[in-house]
Amino acid sequence: MSTSTVRPSETAATRLRPLGAPQATVVDGFWAERLRTNREATIPHGYDQLGRSGALGNLRLAAGADGQYQALTDTSGTTFPFLDSDVYKWLEAAGWELGRGPDAELAAASDEAIGLVAAAQRADGYINSFVQVLGGGLPHRDLAWGHEFYCVGHLIQAAIAWHRALGDDRLLDIAVRAADRIDSEFGPAGRPGIDGHPGIEMALVELTRATGEKRYLTLAARMLELRGQGLLGQGRFGSAYWQDHAPVRDAPTVAGHAVRQLYLDCGAVDVAVELGDDGLLESVRRRWRDMVDTRRYLTGALGSRHRDEAFGDPYELPPDRAYAETCAAVASVMLAWRLLLATGEAGYADAIERTMYNGVLPGISLEGTLFFYTNPLQRRTHRASEPGGHGERTPWNACACCPPNVMRLLSSWQQYVATSHDGGVQIHQYASADIRADLPGGEVVLSTRTGYPHDGHLSVQIGQTPDAPWALSLRVPGWSRSATLTDPAGTRPVGPGEVVIERAWAAGDTVELALDMPVRLTEPDPRVDAIRGCVAVERGPLVYCVESADLPAGHELEDLVFDAGRSPAPADRTDVGPGSFVGVDVPLNRRGAAADSMVARAIPYYAWANRHAGAMRVWIPRM
């Protein structure tokens, strides 16, 4: 049985099967370091913050304790009602993490949190601390803004993690009762209802996958079909804000609130593959293509508008006012993963790579305890005298959706490394990892070793193999311009896409993939107005940036332009806090003074804002 976060059923229309955590283990290198930070710093920090923010205390109140409900309140007096989901997302991360290895403190904190959730749930299965404490205990009075289904969706996802990673069904029992309560009111025989914030759809599909009970999948499909009929009204931002402007299978492009759209499309893929609904799957793929072509930042970030956290118009991708919510990057990884499983197309794994390194990781500090909610690609200045300046990383967000979202993604990240199908094993993400996969002929055991993302060399060693031939697939990333593959048959050049090596393998066989990693200068699409006349620096899967901390003394980033007469070049190993990476020396001039030339050390964008506040640019002007 797979422990994966997404686990299509045996009959699902997917090309690839996830491996799951114990079958893919990151053992060393870049990702091992990030996963260790997540486990040892971020997740404990998160539990502390759940206590401080009131998220845990609110569940205690729902269970009957006395006290004051704590919640983010905006100045109009409206209280945001979704803090329960912070607890559930943290519990999901804790579940995957405990599945990776025991930790007494983490287990104790989890037991406490699970106990609070269990105590808060009503006898009828309903659970939502906001409604129970502040809302008079009257469920489902405001589906558009109440986030009640949304919170149950995250409860289910936490339950799935504990069920699959640990065989612990305490949360699953709670989640089933909560889902049954919703199904009884909103199922096929009940009233129509959808949540203003999608998310429960994918969770309900997973609940069917975990329990075998088809009702939840049916409810998810019903919620998808009910969308686009105007049930949510216009709200403050119009019906597209919550993707209620068009039926899911008809909407031509992504629209509205980015996280809502991406979570919705995750649910649509899950329903589509379970029901074999090719039209629904194709509608998601169409939206994905349009999004990548017209509305995705170089960093993989999504959603440019601050006002309604929305995708903007095509090519509306300002670097300075990029909203680029960390959660939207997380959600796009979740969606790309589903599309990869469904189709097997390497482009989706390319998207996961770009977004993980450049869209998700910048949302958390290198030390693991400070977060960005928005991830701009440019910061002009940061002076105390500029009250409109962008803020620094914070230990928690008032609306704390992003931090535990990063936690749960990182704690399940090794699941994204590889997949299998009856014909072989596919390596999608490069890390030093040990991988096992069950093929029809027997178990495959292999290990990958690499200095990725700073070094382009990957070594695959076959540790155990069935006698029958099977295919090892490696992904040559879309950014690669020169790569060679060495397998037992010899050495050959390979280009972007999936490279399939089908043969009868023997234990001890090795495959070497060498991806050349020159510094690349990336020109923007000329239709992206906001970065016209600029250039970006990339190397391997990493987007780079220039921070004011790395400028020669006395220079302001805003006065500098790229020196087209000189070339950027890889630099020595560069350290920023606990981060160590290949820097890139970027040639710059002072604008209008070509003789005033200098070099700035660019660093990976994921490492920005880990020193003192300052200006930063991904896109560097040519003029």
Pick from 534, 545, 588, 613 the residue near its own copies by CB under 8 A.
534
Pick from 20, 46, 139, 256 the residue near its own copies by CB under 8 A.
256
Sign of CA dihedral 40, 41, 43, 47: positive
Pick from 240, 361, 462, 545 the residue near its own copies by CB under 8 A.
240
Query: Rule CB under 8 A: is residue 236 a binding residue for its own copies?
Result: yes
Pick from 18, 318, 404, 453 the residue near its own copies by CB under 8 A.
318
What distance in Å separates the CA atoms of residue 411 and residue 110, rounded to the nearest whole number? 15
Q: Which stretch binds its own copies (CB under 8 A): 132-140, 220-228, 383-391, 415-423?
A: 383-391
Query: Rule CB under 8 A: is residue 64 a binding residue for its own copies?
Result: no
Interface positions, 343-382, toward its own copies (CB under 8 A): 378, 380-381
Interface positions, 557-586, toward its own copies (CB under 8 A): 558
Residues 493 and 484: beta-carbon distance below 8 Å: yes
Query: Rule CB under 8 A: is residue 526 a binding residue for its own copies?
Result: yes
Of the candidates 32, 55, 35, 52, the residue with the CA atom closest to the CA atom of residue 43: 35
Query: Rule CB under 8 A: is residue 385 a binding residue for its own copies?
Result: yes
Cα three-residue angle 25-576-601, rounded to 5 degrees: 115
Give backbone dihedrals phi and psi of 593, rounded to 5 degrees, phi first: -145, 75
Query: Rule CB under 8 A: is residue 189 a binding residue for its own copies?
Result: no
Query: Rule CB under 8 A: is residue 310 a binding residue for its own copies?
Result: yes
The DSSP line for 375-396 is: --SEE----TT-TTSPP--BSS
Query: Rule CB under 8 A: is residue 312 a binding residue for its own copies?
Result: yes
Task: Name the β-bridge partners of 73.
Answer: 79
Catalytic residue among 151, 266, 327, 401: 401
Q: 3-class SS at 314?
A: coil
Instruction: Closer to its own copies by CB, 255 or 439: give it.
Output: 255
Structure tokens at 44: 């404990």
Pick from 105, 124, 282, 320 the residue near its own copies by CB under 8 A.
320
Which positions from 418 to 437 touch its own copies by CB under 8 A, shown as an x/- string? --------------------
Pick from 51, 187, 344, 389 the residue near its own copies by CB under 8 A.
389
Residue with tokens 């009910």: 226
- Interhelix angle 43-53/84-100, rounded to 10 degrees, is 160
Structure tokens at 470: 């099977």
What distance in Å separates the CA atoms of residue 399 and residue 407, rounded to the nearest whole number? 16
Pick from 279, 387, 490, 565 the residue near its own copies by CB under 8 A.
387
What distance in Å separates the CA atoms of residue 113 and residue 591, rounded to the nearest whole number? 56
Q: Which stretch binds its own copies (CB under 8 A): 69-77, 110-118, 502-510, 535-543?
A: 69-77
Residue with tokens 């049930």: 231
Total chain residues near its own copies (CB under 8 A):
53
Residue with tokens 């977060």: 371
Q: How far is CA 370 from the centre of its chain?
A: 17
What distance in Å separates the CA atoms of residue 425 and residue 471, rounded to the nearest whole number? 6
Interface positions, 18-47, toward its own copies (CB under 8 A): none
Q: Is 309 a catalytic residue?
A: yes
Minimal distance, residue 526 CB to its own copies, in Å:
6
154: exposed, middle or buried (Cβ count in 10 Å: 0-12, 13-18, 19+):
buried
> For residues 68, 70, 73 and 76, what is the CA-based torsion angle, rounded to 10 degrees?
-10
Q: Which stretch binds its own copies (CB under 8 A): 355-363, 384-392, 416-424, 486-494?
A: 384-392
Minimal distance, residue 108 CB to its own copies, in Å:
36
Q: Which stretch binds its own copies (CB under 8 A): 39-47, 101-109, 470-478, 530-538?
A: 530-538
Residue ranges of alpha helices (H) inside 276-310 are 278-294
Minimal distance, residue 299 CB to its own copies, in Å:
17
Query: Rule CB under 8 A: is residue 613 a binding residue for its own copies?
Result: no
Residues 341 and 18: beta-carbon distance below 8 Å: yes
Instruction: Closer to its own copies by CB, 238 or 463: give it.
Output: 238
Query: Rule CB under 8 A: is residue 494 a binding residue for its own copies?
Result: no
Pick from 144, 302, 435, 535 the residue near its own copies by CB under 8 A.
144
What distance in Å separates the CA atoms of residue 581 and residue 234, rounded to the nearest whole number? 48
What distance in Å separates the CA atoms of residue 404 and residue 420, rounded to the nearest whole number? 29
Minimal distance, residue 544 CB to its own copies, in Å:
18
Instruction: Closer to its own copies by CB, 507 or 623: give it.
Output: 623
Query: Rule CB under 8 A: is residue 191 a binding residue for its own copies?
Result: no
Catalytic residue among 92, 309, 325, 353: 309
Instruction: Closer to its own copies by CB, 322 or 352: give it.
Output: 322
In our burial notation (b when 16+ CB lie closer than 10 A, e otherwise), range 251-278 reads bebbbbbbbbbbbbbbbbbbbbbbbebe
Q: Which residues make up the interface to its own copies (CB under 8 A)?
A: 74-78, 144-145, 235-236, 238-240, 245-246, 252-253, 255-256, 305-307, 310-316, 318-321, 378, 380-381, 385-390, 526-527, 529-534, 558, 591, 621, 623
The residues annotated as belonging to the active site are 309, 401
